[in-house]
Chains A and B, each alone.
Chain A
Amino acid sequence: MSENILELKGITKSFATVKVLKDITFSLKKGEILGLVGENGAGKSTLMNVLGGIYQRDGGDILLDGKKFEPSNPKVSSDAGIAFVQQELNLFTNLTVMENLFITEMKRSKIGSINKKEMKKIVREKMEELGGTGISPDDIIGNLSMGQRQMVEITKSIMKDSRIIIFDEPTTSLSNKEKEKLFEIMHRMQEQGKSIIFISHILEDVFAYTDEIAVLRDGEIISQRKTKGADSNTIIKEMVGRELTNIYPVCEKEIKDIAFEAKNICQNGRFENLNLHIREGEIVGMFGLMGAGRTELLRCLFGLDEMDAGELFYKGKQITPVNPQNCIKNGMAFITENRREEGLLIPKTLKENIVLSSLREHKKNLLFMDAAKEKENTDKMVKSLNVKTFDPGKQTAGTLSGGNQQKIVFAKWVLREPKIFLLDEPTRGVDVGAKYEIYTIIQELAKKNSCVLMVSSEIEELMGVCDRILVMSNNRITGELTKNEYVPEEIMKFAVGGVK
């Protein structure tokens, strides 16, 4: 029982100058479930990509069955019996379960056609191995629920007699019942002697179903210990236990009355009667781990995704209908987490990007745009947000650094002097210097009586910038902390599903 099937020793990996994995050392025993926990961006996916042969490590050893193992490409890994159940499902919705499982290597019959009978038999056997899934090999993926699709994905992972199966956040899109089924299957695999690495944010699940827990933080494995007898508070402390190194701008501002209110927000299958409010001049942080529903909530508030029920108010006046155009008209602004795809016109100039959301305000008369005003406002924004550019009318957004690109997205909205500012991971992919500047921009806005709602995966940043922090988990707001209550462990507790 105790022999190690997989051992990692001192794995390192850098991208350009950023060290993503610093020292990864842990072991996986045969027939064991290892829980791997860590904050967003701790390096989990990079680590898995190294194991899966997608990235090549810079240093360190990987031992499989005690022998050195070189995952030089995905095929080597899968042939060695390492399989992945990805968070994003990679299935063809128009094909059947069987076809999805065999799409690149179908069994042939004598006349050269595909041997459906044999393949179906194999699928049934494999599903039987999982304890019966209730899915027929002939079902079309498009007709299956998310949970059932996940089962297909799991079946895919055991098609090749895998010995090590890595589940990457498998529960994010599953109902409670489907979750139970999933854990049942994991348990079954374990009994069959397979080893499992289970990556999850839900600490409760990790405690309930794993044998050992490893904590990953900033590219290092902080600890690995038996689940039995482990203390959740210690684990949480290890997940967040980072020194506060960054300096945050200090800004004297006054927080006034409640100005923005969202009441009874409902979205089918996701949110149920969510409520939140922001005071004038207040910066509210929103923390949560992957799949907690933060991004979805912001998109819902801005009218990008349909809201089934619920009302938005600003200073007692209802904002309706809730669609981007009307939200903007009512003083809302939204910075998405996906800067390149949803925030910027990459091949267009900075000027075109900055005036994008206020084109109407830059009309000279009924017909023409006011080029002079555009230039004036662009220059004003470039100067006040300190964007580094040689000429905002000529340089394209694509040629800027991440930090400067994000400043352009900010400039687009700051120009409108928004009253309600929704920010989704505003400092993602931004270097330290630019981060400080972005915090300053946010605080300047709050000082001018805007309501700010800022989603972030970095506890530290939220603690440094926000006046109040809301925590989301599993599509609900599970915690609320005011400035004097800020303790990283407390925040994380709410985020991992409120461990008692």
Chain B
Amino acid sequence: MEKAKKQPSTVGAGKKFVDLFCTYGLYFIFIVLIIFFAVQRPNFFSVSNFLLILKSSSVLGIAVVGMFFVLIVAGIDISVSMNMYFSAVIGATVLNSMELPLIVCFLAAGVSGLLIGCINGFFVAKVKIVPFIVTLATYSVAKGLGLFFTNQQMVFLNSSVMTLANAKVFGISVFVFIFLGIVLIAHFVLTSTQFGRQLFACGNNLVGANKMGINGPRTVFLAYAICGALAGIAGMLSACNLSVINPNFAQGDEFVVISSSVIGGASLFGGKGKVLPGAIIGIVMIQAIINGLTMMGASAYSYTIFRGIIIFIAVMVDSIKFSGEIR
């Protein structure tokens, strides 16, 4: 009897800790790291550095917004990074060879991204192959296409992109405004349109959604298409920022994008996530850590370890939360 009585209390305490960790753990780790950076490198906490973090966040942030759409319908898109590469290459080619205005290049990049997104969407929603396998395959395809168009060479962008990359409004890079604009539009779509709400419904219970008369496959397809298009735009923006496209452009960014989304509140199990402020918080947190590590003079490769740890903890928290959820 005593044993039986004792057990619940210890279980209760353990559970409380787990709950607490799940809710605040990541933020706690983040704050500890930030304080550590600030103590070690005083200029980490400067306005200019903060603006730099914001700017670098904005580029990948757009892809994070796209990833939200896919995660909300309980999918995943590993191909984002190579999609960014491929689209940036297309955009840059249009820019360099045709001397068209920059906006057309962005359009071209967006359309290329959309194309990859549609391939993903088709195979996931219509053929019904597991998302990570589909997007793993399109990862290779997009990478191959990108290398094909560049002939495995570096591509230098026309100097006109520098004006965009350096343009500032109120001292803040225009990138930030582009990012915010996309976040706001996405927020509107997700919270205030029927399509947006149906995305959440599909992520929660796809079978039920189909029963209720929602066109599930179409909704899922569109989520991947949107993710692709946004990845394309993010790729082009990133290219403008660097003004050069290396053959290893965006490599590994898929992890940054996925972990930012999960930290920002999207769930791998679908049906959850607020782009505003989730996408912003997620990407800024990660970019701040990366920035801090850079200032500490950490080797580029130690990022990989940190990224790995971050994505691991974020997904662990997500999984624990999900298994405690009653549906």
Chain A residues packing against B (C-beta within 8 Å) = 90-95, 99, 103-106, 108, 112-114, 116, 142, 309
Q: How far does the Cβ of A420 sit from chain B's closest Cβ, in whole Å? A: 24
B194 touches which of A92, A93, A106 (Cβ 8 Å): A106
**Alpha-carbon distance A112/B189, docked complex (angstroms):** 10
Residue of B nearest to A108 (CB): B194
Residue of A nearest to B189 (CB): A113
| Complex contact B327–A95 (CB within 8 A) | no
30 contacts between A and B (CB under 8 A): A90-B211, A90-B212, A92-B201, A92-B204, A92-B209, A93-B205, A93-B327, A94-B203, A94-B272, A95-B204, A99-B197, A99-B200, A103-B197, A103-B198, A103-B201, A103-B212, A104-B194, A104-B213, A104-B214, A105-B194, A106-B194, A106-B197, A108-B194, A113-B193, A114-B192, A114-B194, A114-B197, A142-B325, A142-B327, A309-B4
Residue of B nearest to A90 (CB): B208
| Complex contact A112–B214 (CB within 8 A) | no
B100 at the interface (CB under 8 A from A): no
Number of residue pairs across A and B with beta carbons under 8 Å? Answer: 57
B188 at the interface (CB under 8 A from A): yes
Knowing A90-B211, A90-B212, the reply to whether A95 touches B193 (Cβ < 8 A) is no
B200 touches which of A90, A94, A105, A309 (Cβ 8 Å): A94
Chain A: interface secondary structure? loop
Give the most central of B188, B203, B214, B327: most A CB within 10 Å: B327
Indicate with 1 or 0, residue by residue over B182-202, a CB within 8 angstroms of chain A CB atoms: 000000100011100110110
B208 touches which of A92, A105, A106, A108 (Cβ 8 Å): A92
Q: Please, which residues of chain B bring their CB within 8 A of the CB of A90?
A: 208, 211-212
Q: Please, which residues of chain B bring their CB within 8 A of the CB of A93?
A: 204-205, 271, 326-327
Q: Please, which residues of chain A bring their CB within 8 A of the CB of B194?
A: 103-106, 108, 114
**Alpha-carbon distance A236/B203, docked complex (angstroms):** 45
| Complex contact A113–B204 (CB within 8 A) | no
Indicate with 1 or 0, residue by residue over B251-294, a CB within 8 angstroms of chain A CB atoms: 00000000000000000000110000000000000000000000
Chain B: interface secondary structure? helix
Q: How far does the Cβ of B322 sit from chain A's closest Cβ, in whole Å? A: 12
Q: How far does the Cβ of A76 sit from chain B's closest Cβ, in whole Å? A: 14
**Alpha-carbon distance A90/B325, docked complex (angstroms):** 17
**Alpha-carbon distance A116/B325, docked complex (angstroms):** 27
Knowing A114-B192, A142-B327, the reply to whether A95 touches B213 (Cβ < 8 A) is no
| Complex contact B201–A95 (CB within 8 A) | yes
Q: Please, which residues of chain B bring their CB within 8 A of the CB of A104?
A: 194, 198, 212-214
Q: Please, which residues of chain B bring their CB within 8 A of the CB of A114?
A: 192-194, 197
**Contacts A92-B204, A108-B194 supplied; 12 other A-B pairs, CB < 8 Å:** A90-B211, A92-B200, A92-B271, A94-B204, A94-B272, A99-B201, A103-B194, A113-B192, A113-B193, A114-B193, A142-B326, A309-B4
Residue of A nearest to B267 (CB): A94
**Alpha-carbon distance A493/B174, docked complex (angstroms):** 76
**Alpha-carbon distance A114/B193, docked complex (angstroms):** 5
Q: How far does the Cβ of B216 sit from chain A's closest Cβ, in whole Å? A: 12
| Complex contact B188–A113 (CB within 8 A) | yes
Q: How far does the Cβ of A253 sit from chain B's closest Cβ, in whole Å? A: 38
In the A-B complex, the 10 residue pairs with the closest CB atoms? A113-B192, A94-B271, A106-B194, A92-B204, A94-B204, A92-B201, A104-B213, A93-B327, A99-B197, A90-B208
**Alpha-carbon distance A92/B219, docked complex (angstroms):** 16
Q: How far does the Cβ of B197 sit from chain A's closest Cβ, in whole Å? A: 5
Q: Please, which residues of chain A bring their CB within 8 A of the CB of B204?
A: 92-95
**Alpha-carbon distance A142/B198, docked complex (angstroms):** 17
Q: Please, which residues of chain A bring their CB within 8 A of the CB of B326?
A: 93, 142
Residue of A nearest to B192 (CB): A113
Q: Please, which residues of chain B bring their CB within 8 A of the CB of A112?
A: 193
Q: Please, which residues of chain A bring their CB within 8 A of the CB of B208?
A: 90-92
**Alpha-carbon distance A142/B203, docked complex (angstroms):** 14
Q: Please, which residues of chain A bring their CB within 8 A of the CB of B188?
A: 113
Q: Please, which residues of chain B bring their CB within 8 A of the CB of A94?
A: 200, 203-204, 271-272
Q: How far does the Cβ of A86 sit from chain B's closest Cβ, in whole Å? A: 10
Residue of A nearest to B4 (CB): A309
**Alpha-carbon distance A94/B327, docked complex (angstroms):** 9
Residue of B nearest to A104 (CB): B213
CB under 8 Å from chain A, chain B span 313-327? 325-327
**Alpha-carbon distance A53/B279, docked complex (angstroms):** 44
Give the most central of B4, B193, B201, B205: most A CB within 10 Å: B201
**Alpha-carbon distance A236/B252, docked complex (angstroms):** 69
Q: Please, which residues of chain A bring their CB within 8 A of the CB of B209?
A: 92, 103
| Complex contact B325–A95 (CB within 8 A) | no
Q: How far does the Cβ of B275 sit from chain A's closest Cβ, in whole Å? A: 15
Q: How far does the Cβ of B65 sit from chain A's closest Cβ, in whole Å? A: 18
**Alpha-carbon distance A106/B192, docked complex (angstroms):** 10
Residue of A nearest to B273 (CB): A94
**Alpha-carbon distance A116/B213, docked complex (angstroms):** 21
Q: Please, which residues of chain A bring their CB within 8 A of the CB of B272?
A: 94
Give the most central of A90, A94, A95: most B CB within 10 Å: A94
| Complex contact B205–A92 (CB within 8 A) | yes
Residue of A nearest to B215 (CB): A104
Q: Please, which residues of chain B bring their CB within 8 A of the CB of A99?
A: 197, 200-201
**Alpha-carbon distance A105/B197, docked complex (angstroms):** 11
**Alpha-carbon distance A142/B208, docked complex (angstroms):** 15
Give the most central of B188, B194, B203: most A CB within 10 Å: B194
Q: Please, which residues of chain A bring their CB within 8 A of the CB of B327?
A: 93, 142
**Alpha-carbon distance A104/B219, docked complex (angstroms):** 12
Q: Please, which residues of chain B bring their CB within 8 A of the CB of A106?
A: 194, 197
Residue of B nearest to A98 (CB): B197
**Alpha-carbon distance A356/B170, docked complex (angstroms):** 70
| Complex contact B197–A95 (CB within 8 A) | yes
Residue of B nearest to A74 (CB): B213
**Alpha-carbon distance A90/B208, docked complex (angstroms):** 6
**Alpha-carbon distance A88/B325, docked complex (angstroms):** 19
CB under 8 Å from chain A, chain B span 197-242? 197-198, 200-201, 203-205, 208-209, 211-214
**Alpha-carbon distance A142/B204, docked complex (angstroms):** 11
**Alpha-carbon distance A112/B201, docked complex (angstroms):** 20
**Alpha-carbon distance A91/B201, docked complex (angstroms):** 9
Q: Please, which residues of chain A bring their CB within 8 A of the CB of B271?
A: 92-94
**Alpha-carbon distance A112/B208, docked complex (angstroms):** 26
**Alpha-carbon distance A415/B193, docked complex (angstroms):** 58
Q: Please, which residues of chain A bring their CB within 8 A of the CB of B193?
A: 112-114
**Alpha-carbon distance A116/B203, docked complex (angstroms):** 21
Residue of A nearest to B188 (CB): A113
Q: Please, which residues of chain A bring their CB within 8 A of the CB of B197?
A: 95, 99, 103, 106, 114
Q: Please, which residues of chain A bring their CB within 8 A of the CB of B325?
A: 142
Q: Please, which residues of chain B bring their CB within 8 A of the CB of A103?
A: 194, 197-198, 201, 209, 212, 214
**Alpha-carbon distance A321/B239, docked complex (angstroms):** 60
Q: How far does the Cβ of A100 sit from chain B's closest Cβ, in whole Å? A: 8
Q: Please, which residues of chain A bring their CB within 8 A of the CB of B203?
A: 94
Q: How far does the Cβ of A33 sit from chain B's closest Cβ, in whole Å? A: 27
**Alpha-carbon distance A93/B322, docked complex (angstroms):** 13
**Alpha-carbon distance A105/B213, docked complex (angstroms):** 10
CB under 8 Å from chain A, chain B span 1-31? 4
Residue of B nearest to A156 (CB): B212
**Alpha-carbon distance A114/B200, docked complex (angstroms):** 15
**Alpha-carbon distance A95/B175, docked complex (angstroms):** 33
